[in-house]
Amino acid sequence: MSSVGIVFSTLDEAGKGIADVILSLVSGVESIINGLKAHVIKDLNAVLIGFNSVVTEFEFLDDLLDVDYYVVLSKHSSAQHIKSFTTHHVGIPIHDLSLSANLPYLPPSNPPLAKSLLLNLVKYRDLLKLSDFTVTYEVTHHGPFRVRRPITFVELGSSLDEWLIKEAQEVVARSVITSLSDSVKCIPTVGVGGNHYAALFTSRALKTDECYGHIVPNYVLRQFKDDAKTLRNLISYAVDYSSVRTRRVVIDDKAHSIAKKIVKELAKESNLELIEA
């Protein structure tokens, strides 16, 4: 058993490229896992494996890999073609937010790992002189939705031009390698509100000891303004489903009053520190 499954899609140019760079930087042993070729990386206590499926549909991971948590190497797409390195957790179906009303849980977040990835993406971006790339959290979004182990995406964006840049692939590869060896002490935090690229929470994570797990953005809060039950469930899941106990919740002070009321109630019930920022 390895501690971490580093996974990617063989259909994804960025994911494949990042995986190749990782293998060029570490020593791995080829192995066969459930009939698929994999690389066991003993120095990282990890297994690296690609699947012939899109990453948002990796619902099968728990059935195939015996690991503690997952890191997903992925491309990031944006209509604005912004050069970026991002990391985020999964579970809110933003392609059809109405489906959120029936979610039984969120796949667990991994706040310390995401924080380490964020810091290392900045570090290696600067070392490799790719200052035109932004580094940011994204909010919780897309699948896989049924994974029961902590799962964290790290992405290179946001078009084919960027996905194939070797130095950009190396930034992500080195960030993953370093992050899997880091021991980050931080305050596990849930973010509520803000935009999709989580500007508020990214800034706070880079400046403080907060590490963010799930982040529920303003567009989700607005969607369920008149459905307090669903909104409470989503925020409660964000708090509860984490690799480490959530200790703090930060809410954007621009969030609507219903969301603020729910967050205050949950913070009191779960003994969480509450910050309005």
**Range of the structural domain that residue 264 is part of:** 4-276
Q: Quote the number of domains for the chain.
A: 1
Distance CA(8)–CA(213), nearest Å, equals 21
The CATH number linked to 157 is: 3.40.630.50
pTM value is 0.98
Mean pLDDT, the chain, rounded, equals: 96
Length of the chain (residues): 277
| Burial zone of 93 (CB within 10 Å; 0-12 exposed, 13-18 middle, 19+ buried) | middle
149 touches 119 (CB < 8 A): no
Q: 19-35 burial by CB neighbour count: b if 16+ within 10 A, else e?
A: bebbeeebebeeeebee
β-pairing verdict for 134-137 and 210-216: unpaired
Would you place residue 79 in the very low, low, confident or very high pLDDT band (cuts 50, 70, 90)? confident
| pLDDT exceeds cutoff 80 at 113 | yes
Tokens of 51: 């699947």
Percent of the chain at pLDDT exceeding 90 = 94
Residue 1's pLDDT is 63
